[in-house]
Chain A
Amino acid sequence: MSANLKIRLRGLRKSFGEKVVLDGVDLDVAARHSMVLLGGSGSGKSVTIKCILGLIPPDDGVVEIDGRDVTRLSRRDRAELLDRTGMLFQNGALFDSLPVWENVCFKLLAQNRITRRAARDRAAEVLAQVGLAASVGDLSPSELSGGMQKRVALARAIASKPDIIFFDEPTTGLDPIMGAVIDGLIVDCVEKLGATAFSITHDMASARRIGDHAAMIHKGRIIWAGHAEALGHTGNAMVDQFANGEREGPIQMELRR
Chain B
Amino acid sequence: MTAPIDIVAGLGRAVMGASAHVGALVIFAANALAQLFRPPYGPRQFLRHFVEIAYFSLPVVALTALFTGMVLALQTYTGFARFNAESAVASVVVLSITRELGPVLTGLIVAGRVGAAMAAEIGTMRVTDQIDALRTLSTEPMKYLVAPRLLAGTLALPLLVVVANTLGVMGGFLVATLSLGFAGPAYLSGSWDVLEAMDVISGLIKAGVFGFLITLMGCWYGYQSQGGAQGVGKATTKAVVAASILILAFDYVLTQAFFSR
Q: Which residues of A contact B (CB under 8 A)?
A: 50, 53-55, 79, 82-83, 85-87, 89-91, 93-97, 106-107, 110-112, 156, 166
Contact = CB atoms under 8 A, between A and B. Distances in A.
B141 to A, nearest CB: 11
B137 A110 contact: yes
Interface of B: 40, 121, 124-125, 128-130, 132-133, 135-139, 144
B40 A93 contact: no
B138 A93 contact: no
Contacts of A50: 132
B136 A110 contact: no
Nearest to A112: B40
7 contacts: A50-B132, A54-B135, A82-B136, A93-B128, A106-B137, A110-B137, A112-B40
B139 A89 contact: no
A110 B132 contact: no
Contacts, number: 51
A110 B121 CA distance: 20
Contact of B133 (A85, A93, A112): A93
Given A93-B129, A106-B139, 16 more contacts: A54-B135, A55-B136, A82-B135, A82-B136, A82-B137, A85-B136, A86-B136, A87-B136, A93-B130, A93-B132, A96-B124, A97-B121, A107-B139, A110-B138, A112-B40, A166-B136
Most central of A54, A86, A89, A156 by chain B CB within 10 Å: A89
B133 A110 contact: no
Among all A-B residue pairs, the 6 with the closest Cβ atoms: A93-B133, A87-B136, A93-B129, A107-B137, A82-B138, A110-B139
Most central of B121, B135, B137 by chain A CB within 10 Å: B137
A89 B138 contact: no
A91 B128 contact: yes
Contacts of B130: 93-96
A111 B132 contact: no
Contacts of A54: 135
A107 B40 contact: no
Contact of A87 (B121, B125, B133, B144): B133
Contacts of A112: 40
B258 to A, nearest CB: 38
B133 A111 contact: no
A53 B132 CA distance: 10
B72 to A, nearest CB: 39
Contacts of B137: 82, 106-107, 110, 156
A107 B128 contact: no
A93 B124 CA distance: 10
A156 B133 CA distance: 10
Contacts of A94: 130, 133
Contacts of B144: 110
A90 B132 CA distance: 12
A53 B138 CA distance: 11
B129 A90 contact: yes
